[in-house]
Structure 1
Amino acid sequence: MEVTADVVVIGFGAAGACAAVEAATAGASVVVLDRFTGGGATALSGGVVYAGGGTRQQVEAGVTDSVDAMYSYLRHEVRDAVSPETLRRFCEDSAKMLAWLEDQGVPFDARVSPFKTSYPTDDHYLYLSGSEDAWPDPAPRGHRTRAKGTSGRVFFTRLAEAVRRAGVRVMPQTRAVELIVANGRVTGVRCRTLTGLPRAVHSALSKVGAKPWLYYPPLGRKLFGLAAWLERYGRPLVVHAGQGVIIAAGGFIADRALVHEHAPAYRGGLALGTPGDDGGGIRLGVAAGGRTARMDKISVWRFITPPSALQRGVLVDSDGQRFGDATLYGAANGGAIVERGGKAWLLIDDEILQAARAQVKTQTAPFQRWQVRYLLGRGLVTAPTIEEVAAKAGISPPEPFGTPPYSLINVSVRAGFGYPCPMLTLGGLVVDEDTGQVQGVAGLYAAGRSAVGVCSESYVSGLALADCVFSGRRAGQHAAKEARC
């Protein structure tokens, strides 16, 4: 079986969907391939897009922000993952990018969260999603998709609708196994595609297994293992690309061996993604002649809030030594905890504990309450003195502060059930920052977590989705330009 299109996109998450819409809008015929049914890690995410410099929502909320302020803050986070010119372009285009998403049907809201949180409740959709408070001119730039619960499903659904409105052909249950290279150029993709009953069962298993994969991995692995077994019944398919192939197949957090090879210190966390985040897209690019970078960059999320009162606590290690800053974004503290062997505790006094307990009802979304039950319950030990509480926790006594009794909350990477430590990969294929083309490989592009991008050094909430939109649109536009040449 053979199919032909101008542009072929591998992966149907945020980056793939944005690439497809842009390529189709520019007049190219587009085929999207996805191993499962689409959505990927995007659909399981919080649906937060990092944007600023004066978005419609910021203006409506009375928030003062500028491109310069956004750029200045992100320089501290992004560092040299991309060039200053690319980051400046990302910031300058940020408000227009969010407006483009709204044009595709993705809803946003201007209600600002009045408290520090890892994810806002259904009453708030604009919030400080990173460590902005630690730098000059902070502004809320986390734009959560307006939806109940975690918003990623609605974010992706609206993009998927836009893809289909654009006339793109989407082929689910189709796994890309090899890129076709002719005369030094990528000209297509060899695939295995499911049909009939195996396709229907594969689809059902992947849909049912998505949440268990995140929240109860043993069950998720079994369900997706059955789905992978069914892939043996896939039929050969060749998809010819007239001018461009775009890899947007996610990262590699689901491949434990690959994570251990590149970042051996990052073990024991929750793989934040889907089984499709197995590095398959990155491997395709490497096999075609591409190279990778920043494969050792893993974002580890150790969120302390909500409740917001807990950010007044002090992080300490096994030796009782203070480190980090509890007011910073969870990934900043997660990385610092990994550097200390994955062990850490949050020291709080009685005043902080009582304030935190009073905030639970108003500051937590339903999915966050498991974490709060751990933080203020099973993960906490309390004693009248610093020496006694340290002995209970099994660490050296830290320097006291505040009002006794004192409490220590175990915030280690492997703290226990109910308080997982999510991790995702940030590295990938090296691309030309003006076009998204994989360096050294004609006809091949990469976007999202399959490529090095804006968030490949440091992650804050919303930056990965924003980069998926930014890099996906870039790849789609330039692949379509080649199709018109």
Structure 2
Amino acid sequence: MLAGVVVVGFGAAGACAAIEAAEAGADVLVLDRFDGGGATALSGGVVYAGGGTAQQAKAGITDTPDAMYDYLAHEVGDAVTAQTLLAFCDDSADMLAWLEDKGVPFAASVCPYKTSYPTDRHYLYYSGSETLYDKPAPRGHRTAGRGTSGKLLFQRLERAAVDRGVRIMRQTTAQRLVTDPNGRVTGVVCRQLTGFPARLHKFLGKLAAKPGLYVPALRRRLHRSIRRIENRHGTEITVSARDGVILCAGGFVANPVMMREHAPAYRRGLPLGTLGDDGSGIRLGSEIGAATAKLDHVSAWRFVTPPSALMEGRLINERGEEICDLHRYGAAVGHAMITEHGGKGWLLVDGPTLAEAKRQIPGQTTWFQRLQTHYLFGRARTTAPTLAELSRRTGVTIGDFAGTAPFSLIDVSIKRSIGYPCPMLTLGGLVVDEGSGEVLTADGHAVAGLYAAGRNAVGICSNSYVSGLSLADCVYSGRRAGRHVAAARRSRGAQR
């Protein structure tokens, strides 16, 4: 089978890469192990954007690319160069407009309180730690749809890709890259399912995504069945790529071997992604000499809000020492707990704070956040009339704390708990040229014909994650790779 551009993986990064390449005139073929969507479709559909988006302007929010850069520089660090971050911020408003042009809806209703994820009344919110820095602005642009709206985001991108002539091969697993004698990537060897095995594979894949996401034992059993189907019924085919291959197959949070090797401290988190987030895209590049970086960087979220009243509490370790400012984003809280406190922590609140938090539950929470409050205010909470008695009952040292009795200590430690999971995703990947998305070797040379984007690659969010930054990077890096592989195609054509 022959194509111009082959995209491996069909989440946000793969869809955006395919759309850009197709709009530039390339013949684009997408390969996906399952039925498309990846972690994007499971996500909240939040895109981090600012610098004066149409939604910010409509809401009366003042923001500039410089203000966005000044904040993100604290989060991004050395994950990308200052020039790349500046370009990302300068292009941010146009990027969101590009998504709207592809049918992705956004809205300007601002959430007035601190939350991990807004309800269906609000679609623009402070999705990171912006309020702790100068010139804060809400930049979390949630796709305007009911519930967790990542599925809607992907559906619109998928439709845009199909409308532009992109071909999609589903239930097709990329196994290895094909190179010519000069080392240029010229294709992909795959295993493809057809007929009833493909339909069964699709069904099991959906179950593994949800509810399997929340029930790890079920997901493991489903994965074994899925692998058997692939091994017994898959047909090996080679897809040739005249212009290049773009790897967009996600991270490796669903690969326990890679997690143990690169991020062993994160063993208690809830892997946020599909079974396709198994590191296969990273492996494909590594096998032909591509460099990797930031593989030990994982985002693990420990949110205590909503309800927003809980931010009046104090997060402490077993010695009574404060762990982290609760105004920080949940991934910063999770990082501090895991790397400095063994994943343990307790939220100390007084009686009026707890009462106000309970009053806020109906108006500030979605269904899954209500499950969280049910756990936190139930089995995870210990209450006592004095701080001394609370310390005696829990074994946690409690120092000075100004408040009104009764006092409560809520166990927010990171455990394997359905009632209060700690979602996590991997942030590192293949090293790429920041101007083109071309995959690089350890000595800095480009692997001809190979590109990477999204969580297959080191990118904007590979040091520190705030809500929406991964999807924004998927859009940014996916479009970049799609444009440059098409431009390289035109350049070779002109030379001939």
Q: How does 1:440-455 map to 2 (within 5 A)?
A: 440=445, 441-455=447-461
Give the number of equivalent residue pairs: 483
Displacement of 1:158 in angstroms is 0.4
| Alignment partner of 1:40 is 2:41 | no
Taking structure 1 as reference, are residues 48 and 230 closer, same or farther at Cα in structure 2, changes over 3 Å only? same
Residue 324 of structure 1: aligned partner: 324
Per the alignment, in what secondary structure is the counterpart of residue 187 of structure 2?
A: strand
Displacement of 1:401 in angstroms is 2.0
Question: Do the aligned residues in 1 keep the contact of 2:214 with 2:418 (CA within 8 Å)?
Answer: no
**Once structures 1 and 2 are overlaid, which stretch shifts more, 414-423 or 297-306?**
414-423
Taking structure 1 as reference, are residues 111 and 256 closer, same or farther at Cα in structure 2, changes over 3 Å only? same
Residue 198 of structure 1: aligned partner: 197
Question: Do the aligned residues in 1 keep the contact of 2:47 with 2:471 (CA within 8 Å)?
Answer: yes
Residue 114 of structure 2: aligned partner: 116
Distance 2:133 2:355 in 1: 29
Instruction: Tell me which amino acid in the other structure corresponds to 2:454.
Output: G
Runs of 4+ in 1 over 3 A off after TM superposition: none
Question: Do the aligned residues in 2 keep the contact of 1:82 with 1:453 (CA within 8 Å)?
Answer: yes
Distance 2:392 2:121 in 1: 41
Residue 413 of structure 1: aligned partner: 414
Question: Do the aligned residues in 1 keep the contact of 2:208 with 2:274 (CA within 8 Å)?
Answer: no
Displacement of 1:415 in angstroms is 6.9
Instruction: Tell me which amino acid in the other structure corresponds to 1:332.
Output: A
Question: Do the aligned residues in 2 keep the contact of 1:320 with 1:399 (CA within 8 Å)?
Answer: no
C-alpha distance after superposition, 1:25-52 (max 9, x if no partner): 0000000000000001000000000000
Displacement of 1:213 in angstroms is 2.3
Question: Do the aligned residues in 2 keep the contact of 1:371 with 1:419 (CA within 8 Å)?
Answer: yes
Distance 2:386 2:265 in 1: 34
Question: Do the aligned residues in 1 keep the contact of 2:208 with 2:275 (CA within 8 Å)?
Answer: no
Question: Do the aligned residues in 1 keep the contact of 2:174 with 2:189 (CA within 8 Å)?
Answer: yes
Instruction: Tell me which amino acid in the other structure corresponds to 2:17.
Output: A
Instruction: Tell me which amino acid in the other structure corresponds to 1:231.
Output: E
Displacement of 1:81 in angstroms is 0.3
Residue 335 of structure 1: aligned partner: 335
2:90 to 89, 92, 103: 92
Taking structure 1 as reference, are residues 291 and 205 closer, same or farther at Cα in structure 2, changes over 3 Å only? same
Residue 214 of structure 2: aligned partner: 215
Per the alignment, in what secondary structure is the counterpart of residue 79 of structure 2?
A: coil
Residue 63 of structure 1: aligned partner: 61
Taking structure 1 as reference, are residues 343 and 415 closer, same or farther at Cα in structure 2, changes over 3 Å only? farther
C-alpha distance after superposition, 1:3-44 (max 9, x if no partner): 111110000000000000000000000000000000010000
Residue 484 of structure 2: aligned partner: 478
Per the alignment, in what secondary structure is the counterpart of residue 176 of structure 2?
A: strand
C-alpha distance after superposition, 1:278-312 (max 9, x if no partner): 10000000011101000010101000100000011
Per the alignment, in what secondary structure is the counterpart of residue 438 of structure 1?
A: strand
Per the alignment, in what secondary structure is the counterpart of residue 438 of structure 2?
A: coil
Displacement of 1:223 in angstroms is 1.9
Residue 30 of structure 1: aligned partner: 28
Residue 12 of structure 1: aligned partner: 10
Displacement of 1:392 in angstroms is 2.4
Question: How does the TM-score come out when normalised to structure 1?
Answer: 0.98
Residue 389 of structure 2: aligned partner: 388
C-alpha distance after superposition, 1:193-241 (max 9, x if no partner): 0011111110111112211221111112222321121001111111101
Question: How does the TM-score come out when normalised to structure 2?
Answer: 0.96
Stretches of structure 1 lacking an aligned partner (at least 5 in a row): none
Displacement of 1:147 in angstroms is 0.5
Question: Do the aligned residues in 2 keep the contact of 1:300 with 1:423 (CA within 8 Å)?
Answer: yes
Displacement of 1:263 in angstroms is 1.5
Residue 134 of structure 1: aligned partner: 132
Identity %: 60
Displacement of 1:367 in angstroms is 2.0
Distance 1:172 1:394 in 2: 54
Instruction: Tell me which amino acid in the other structure corresponds to 2:225.
Output: L
**Once structures 1 and 2 are overlaid, which stretch shifts more, 241-250 or 315-324?**
315-324
**Once structures 1 and 2 are overlaid, which stretch shifts more, 394-403 or 423-432?**
394-403
| Alignment partner of 1:403 is 2:404 | yes
Distance 1:386 1:123 in 2: 38
Displacement of 1:107 in angstroms is 0.5
Residue 313 of structure 1: aligned partner: 313
Question: Do the aligned residues in 2 keep the contact of 1:176 with 1:191 (CA within 8 Å)?
Answer: yes
Question: Do the aligned residues in 2 keep the contact of 1:81 with 1:453 (CA within 8 Å)?
Answer: yes
Residue 241 of structure 1: aligned partner: 241
Distance 1:184 1:230 in 2: 33
Distance 1:405 1:474 in 2: 56
Question: Do the aligned residues in 1 keep the contact of 2:270 with 2:416 (CA within 8 Å)?
Answer: no
Instruction: Tell me which amino acid in the other structure corresponds to 1:473.
Output: R
